[in-house]
Amino acid sequence: LRASRVLLVGLRGLGAEVAKNLILAGVRGLTLLDHQQVSPEDSRAQFLIPVGSLGRNRAEASLERAQSLNPMVDVKADPESVESKPHEFFTQFDA
């Protein structure tokens, strides 16, 4: 687990909880992939998004709080759509 590089697609309420658990477990790297913008519902349902992030990209808005959970994990945000990614993009991840 500690050597794994994980891709997490979607950062709504459940995605944020999964991200938190992976980060606290100490995976090597976690990439947060979400192309959606922060909505008013997200700020109430997703604890990684800080107040005042309405209209920002969900992955980018979640990055700072996610990284602060465990500085030993390399957390990255990707604001693109999963459908736009080439097949080769996915080969860098273990899960």
User: So what's the pLDDT on residue 43?
Assistant: 80
Residue 28: partners with Cβ closer than 8 Å, 6 or more residues away: 2, 3, 4, 5, 73, 74
User: So what's the pLDDT on residue 45?
Assistant: 87
Mean pLDDT by 10 residues, the chain (95 residues): 95 96 97 97 90 95 97 97 97 96
- Beta partners for 6? 30
User: So what's the pLDDT on residue 1?
Assistant: 83
Q: Helix, strand, or coil here: 76?
A: strand
User: So what's the pLDDT on residue 74?
Assistant: 97
User: So what's the pLDDT on residue 44?
Assistant: 85
User: So what's the pLDDT on residue 30?
Assistant: 98
